[in-house]
Chains A and B, each alone.
Chain A
Amino acid sequence: MAASNADPITSLQPPEQQHMLLLFLPVKKGLASQLATSTDGALAAKNDAPDLRAATGVHFFMITAVADGAKSTLPVPTFTAAKGKDLMVVLSIYDAPFSPYIGAFTKYEEIAKALDGILFALDETGIITDDKPTSAAFILKHGGVFKNKEAFVQLLMRYNFADPTIPAATGAGIVPAGAKYFMGGTFPGLTVGNILQKYPDAPSLWPATPVPITFEQ
């Protein structure tokens, strides 16, 4: 093993922390599957010119659709849509608190349109009225997420199971004060930006514009 003078990381500023998003979005009946596909494609494609990965800090995301009335795919109850609605579940781990950095997404037209597309598909009947500033209908009526990023954050947090988002914990049983859930992290502080800067040849191995990858069985 190579000698190192580095000390263990014992303190992390908010921008270096990993947080979790676990959204359960109520979607108009029949739209969840289509929405999941289009959202996945839009978010995955928008990385180049400029390369937003260090700013947005998304390590991974998973989007899955649950149709109205669909049964669990496991032998135990899992995600269930409300009666008469579909459900879209979004899971992501990302760097830094969400709110200060949302502008890094919404200022770009392609991303803003994709996020507006999610709002179009939401069915907030019985949850919030259309005249409230954080409702999907209100946001869409007043310029979409580009002009309403703070309201959009509040909308997301309404459906975020992991709200408040939880910094990664280190070591078994070590949960940050105030956290509702335990979330382990093997490399706390290893941000997307750090990976891109520190890992040899990272920009070549993982170009800003993704290339097709064959995941061998």
Chain B
Amino acid sequence: MNVDDIQGVILRGFRSYGTIRHFLFNITDVAAAQEFCGLLAPGSGAPVTVTPGTLWPAGEKPPYCLNVGISNTGLSKLIGGTNYETVSDASYGLFTTFGTGAADPGIAKNVGDTAGTPSAPENWWKNGNWKLPSPPSTSLLDVLVTLYAPDACARDTYSQKLLEMSAPGLAPAFVLDCDPLDPPDSIHFGYVDGISQPKIAGYDNPKAGMFDDQPVPSYYFVIDPDPNGPAPYTAHPLLGNGCFGAFRVLHQDSAAFEAFLAKAGDDADLVASKMCGRWKDGTPLEVSPDKPDPSLSAGDIVNFNYLSASPNQVNPLPAPDFDTSGVRCPYASHTRRTNPRDDVKVKPYDPPFAEHRVMRRAFAYGPPFAKDPAADRGLAGLFMGANLQDQFVFLMQTWVQSGSYRVPYDASPNGSGIDPLFGPQPDQDSTDFSYLSNGEYKTIPGMTRFVRTDGGLFVFLPSITALGFLAKGSIPAS
């Protein structure tokens, strides 16, 4: 793997840089935007450049990190319509979703941004961060740049440098800051996030303890255009060493979420853990069903299965059933449905689910609920994979939005038809959540939608080599 050619956000993320600014740009001058792409390439000498996947020397960290993504409209502007069509035709499967875009009604419906609901695309980009004089529209968003800094001061400093570089060809259309909560890796519902990321085969990540042990072939996250290679897709060479991502702005209704938990009384923490599949500190229910366990190692919190104990798994349920019926971790829970691990009872039976894994690089925005209950808050960032349709869209469509594994496996009354951390859509009647407490199922009624999509954009994260082609408005030979 040529890590120097791959954007670092794909391989490792930058979680230790908790102060983030997302810029969504509209291209106003194509030639200048092409030049901007060239400047972003490492080694260009520009004030800020893309951070590649190159491992940093021990004890050294760059003063900032940065990644860039290009939307379908942006790519068409940068390389021209004819080249875009060539790339699209040679990458048909990968472009069915990317080329159509996140705001397409069909795709939006599949991922839960259903027309007529508050999450529908016509309602996006209206949370006060739109910068253009024209009305908010996904069609105006061409380039995503995300800047990661160690603190707010550094974020402002490097943002200014970035804006000076981009100004000739790109106008900021939407800008959103993410700031760390307490604890730093947590989201507004109180859970520690970023656990159990896919482990990319062949990439020796220094923080592998937070990654799943079973490696996922690299071509699910780093596009392999080799026509004779093992990747289950075709890709134009321009896409090589790149990745696709769904940039999402997800408003979180903390008031509704906390109100729902409050109905559980003394069981509120237990219910929160059953909804997620983990206690708020990240302890998996499969490993510690009764309480959080801070003594667990980073490996312990990702090393578990549902239907059979993984090697060295802490405290598994006994064979042969293990947690087949979901008594520890409900089938409905967010983590079990979004990463079923060994659970062959989740449709489709397709072990080891590698082709549907998603790399998450999302962070909290907005102030803590306790500090300012009325403020806008949520989660924003990238959900990445080589094939958006097979990874992000599949996961949202078949596991988060629907799921078909309620009987006879799930011992609870839950329908498993919704992800409880998202809550039901207006047209879904699954408003109860049932959980096991002291050997008895209890049901909390009145679950509402807790997450609203306030923005969505599919982007291509080019390789460093591809940035050079974008700078010239050209594509490599097929």
A contact set with B: CB distance below 8 Å: 11, 13-16, 50-52, 54-56, 96, 100-101, 103-104, 106-107, 131-134, 142-143, 146-151, 191, 193-194, 197-198
Chain B residues closer than 8 Å to A15, beta-carbon distance? 347, 398, 402-404
| Separation of A106 and B347 alpha carbons in the complex (Å) | 16
- Neighbour of B227 across the interface among A50, A142, A191, A194, CB < 8 A: A142
| Separation of A142 and B232 alpha carbons in the complex (Å) | 11
Contact present for B404 and A50 (CB under 8 Å) = no
Chain A residues closer than 8 Å to B350, beta-carbon distance? 55, 103-104, 107
26 A-B contact pairs sorted by A residue (CB < 8 Å) = A13-B403, A14-B402, A14-B404, A15-B402, A16-B404, A54-B347, A54-B349, A96-B347, A100-B394, A100-B397, A100-B398, A103-B232, A104-B350, A131-B89, A133-B92, A143-B234, A147-B233, A148-B233, A149-B93, A150-B96, A151-B93, A191-B347, A193-B404, A194-B408, A197-B408, A197-B409
Q: Which 6 A-B pairs have the closest CB atoms?
A: A15-B404, A55-B348, A150-B93, A133-B92, A13-B402, A55-B349
Mark contacts of B323-345 with chain A using CB atoms, 8 A cut-off: 1 yes-contact digit, 0 otherwise. Answer: 00000000000000000000011
| Separation of A73 and B56 alpha carbons in the complex (Å) | 73
**What count of chain B residues pass the 8 Å CB interface test?**
32
Task: Return the chain A residue nearest B93 by Cβ.
Answer: A150
| Separation of A207 and B394 alpha carbons in the complex (Å) | 29
Chain A residues closer than 8 Å to B404, beta-carbon distance? 13-16, 96, 191, 193
Mark contacts of B34-47 with chain A using CB atoms, 8 A cut-off: 1 yes-contact digit, 0 otherwise. Answer: 00000000000000
Chain A residues closer than 8 Å to B231, beta-carbon distance? 147
Contact present for B92 and A151 (CB under 8 Å) = yes
| Separation of A52 and B345 alpha carbons in the complex (Å) | 12
- Neighbour of A198 across the interface among B93, B394, B408, B429, CB < 8 A: B408
Task: Return the chain A residue nearest B407 by Cβ.
Answer: A194
Contact present for B234 and A148 (CB under 8 Å) = yes
Chain B residues closer than 8 Å to A197, beta-carbon distance? 345, 408-409
B contact set with A: CB distance below 8 Å: 89-90, 92-93, 96, 227-228, 231-234, 344-345, 347-351, 355, 389-390, 394, 397-398, 402-404, 407-409, 417, 429
| Separation of A16 and B348 alpha carbons in the complex (Å) | 12
Contact present for A103 and B408 (CB under 8 Å) = no
Dominant SS among interface residues on chain A: helix
| Separation of A90 and B408 alpha carbons in the complex (Å) | 32
| Separation of A147 and B403 alpha carbons in the complex (Å) | 26
Chain B residues closer than 8 Å to A54, beta-carbon distance? 347-349
- In the assembled complex, the CB of A187 is this many whole angstroms from the nearest CB of chain B, namely 14
Chain A residues closer than 8 Å to B402, beta-carbon distance? 13-15
| Separation of A43 and B198 alpha carbons in the complex (Å) | 33
Contact present for B348 and A107 (CB under 8 Å) = no
- Neighbour of B92 across the interface among A56, A150, A191, A198, CB < 8 A: A150
| Separation of A194 and B410 alpha carbons in the complex (Å) | 13
| Separation of A133 and B90 alpha carbons in the complex (Å) | 7
Chain A residues closer than 8 Å to B227, beta-carbon distance? 142-143, 147
| Separation of A133 and B94 alpha carbons in the complex (Å) | 12
